[in-house]
Chains A and B, each alone.
Chain A
């Protein structure tokens, strides 16, 4: 069931086009990675989907609410983690969160809800400390708690790990992973491609326009054919020749003790390939699929788009 749907969603700032004709669907319970270079329109899209700015053309429906019309109802059911944590530094963590919780009709007891989530992110011990004394990582965790307090149907996370040290970033990622497993729909804008690949079911690449939207594997296949790497104990010409002669092998090349092959059907043909290599005297150490980093896919998409523009 779709929980986010956009229809030709567009936004201009004066003559500058920030987002153009964005049409996409996000299923309930899905984690969608939203990638794009700086200025690609990621934050603008999130703001439109969160009902914070209106589209200049098109519209979006999030959790059954038109984002440009039912703003207050929409805000009851979505959570947003903005780029800046934005807290009252002189108030305690608990008081800050209770304040924000006080605006949601679904939260009957703000203090109980705050306690539950502060314990979840291991900040309960610091609940009475002023937020001004918190580290950047702690503020990010606190901001994530703020976005979650009312247990929203959809969570928008705008670069949740930007500027965090590796430990803090890992903690935030773990939390996102946990939320995903609990069935939250998460719209995750990030520059970190590994993070997107680790956490997201599908990835959308935006450069004002939507360039691609698919699973990481299918995005790779769009640019790179699947390749099988056979790691041999020693390289032998006879083995290579046997592999070349197999009917389902489309291409073979040697790289040191590795054979890199393209097969007609890389899943089904793999056992036959290994069998043939072993029978030819090859000593197989490992068989794996060549993994192209998502970064290469992303860069190709962006360069193609920039090439089209120029």
Chain B
């Protein structure tokens, strides 16, 4: 029965999502902006700063860790080492896509239903709280995830189109696959769970938006850690991180169910 309920929620949410021009625009535009911006930064750095960037302490530390993780990079010329470094860091930049989509889409998912009164009618059906929250989180996380994968594909095409194809073997590593297919789904679900939880607790759309801002900070921290070379995320580390976030997904669902106050919603939102 749960699968039928969750599927029911997913299909309805998707119809609503893709018939709303604002939401559809966010889902399409965010990946375009993230990928476009990252490529622009890399191109600018590569074109104008070049190898000189590697002389800075931050990049030296990061490069050392990259070489330790992918020894073949040491054999490349300086400018290509810089390119591999920047492109490797870009993989984590992709994590911004599900997080930013979650910020805009999931935060309104419950508040909107409270305002329209449909939530009270929904809570009078046999739907369980966890089914409702998971359905709503997945309804946003799945398209966001698909867009992230499409963005990764676009990135590979751009690398090839810009004549950087030679270095792609150093970028598309097991760590790259683990990031895309394990870490990104885990982070996508966590972001949407947090967004839906914030939305269920918020009294109005503004409150939901404020809560949503919190979602992006952990991802920014991850990107910062990678860029500054404080920690270089090897496949083992990515696997471990994905596992931790996977556990966090489960914990966040349980927390979301506990925080979802059916009574308050029914009584306060009329």
A residues near B (Cβ < 8 Å) are: 13, 47, 50, 52-54, 72-73, 75-76, 78, 80, 82-91, 95, 99-100, 102-105, 143, 146
Contact = CB atoms under 8 A, between A and B. Distances in A.
B121 A146 contact: yes
Contacts of B267: 13, 47, 53
B47 interface: no
Contacts of B123: 52
* Main SS class of interface, B: helix
B112 to A, nearest CB: 9
Interface residues of B, number: 27
15 contacts: A47-B267, A53-B266, A75-B125, A82-B120, A82-B121, A83-B270, A85-B121, A86-B119, A86-B120, A87-B118, A88-B16, A95-B15, A100-B125, A102-B8, A103-B126
Contact of B117 (A72, A80, A82): A82
Contacts of A73: 126
B122 A105 contact: no
A100 B126 contact: no
List of 5 A-B pairs having minimum Cβ-Cβ separation, nearest first: A86-B117, A84-B117, A102-B8, A103-B125, A86-B118
B117 A91 contact: no
Given A52-B266, A53-B263, A86-B119, A75 B16 contact: no
Contact of A89 (B116, B120, B124, B263): B116
A90 B124 contact: no
Contact of B19 (A50, A78, A90, A143): A90
Nearest to B7: A102
Interface in B114-161: 116-128
Interface of B: 1, 4-5, 8, 12, 15-16, 19-20, 116-128, 262-263, 266-267, 270
A122 B23 CA distance: 34
B121 to A, nearest CB: 4
- Max chain A Cβ within 10 angstroms of own Cβ: one of B5, B12, B263: B12
A75 B266 CA distance: 15
B270 A99 contact: no
Contacts of A54: 263
A65 to B, nearest CB: 12
Given A82-B117, A86-B116, A86-B117, A91 B16 contact: yes
B138 to A, nearest CB: 16
A214 B121 CA distance: 30
A100 B125 CA distance: 7
A103 B263 contact: no
A72 B128 contact: yes
A200 B20 CA distance: 44
A75, A88, A104 pick with most chain B CB within 10 angstroms = A88
Contacts of A90: 16, 19-20
Contacts, number: 76
A9 to B, nearest CB: 15
Most buried by A among B119, B124, B266, B267: B124
B25 to A, nearest CB: 15
Nearest to B267: A53
A91 B262 CA distance: 24
A100 B121 contact: yes
Contact of B12 (A52, A83, A85, A99): A99
Contacts of A80: 121, 124
A277 to B, nearest CB: 57
B120 A84 contact: yes
Contacts of B8: 99, 102-103
A52 B124 contact: yes
A150 to B, nearest CB: 9
Contacts of A76: 126
A91 B20 CA distance: 11
A84 B117 CA distance: 6
Contacts of B125: 75, 100, 103-104
Given A52-B263, A86-B117, 12 more contacts: A53-B263, A75-B124, A84-B270, A86-B120, A86-B121, A87-B118, A89-B116, A90-B19, A90-B20, A91-B15, A95-B15, A103-B8
Which of A50, A76, A86, A146: most chain B Cβ within 10 A? A86
Contacts of A72: 126, 128
B64 to A, nearest CB: 54
Nearest to B12: A99
A180 B12 CA distance: 33
Contacts of B126: 72-73, 75-76, 103-105
A66 to B, nearest CB: 15
Contacts of B19: 90
Contact of B1 (A86, A105, A146): A105
Of B5, B15, B16, B121, most buried by chain A (CB within 10 Å of CB) is B121
Contacts of B266: 47, 52-53
Contacts of A146: 121
A24 to B, nearest CB: 21
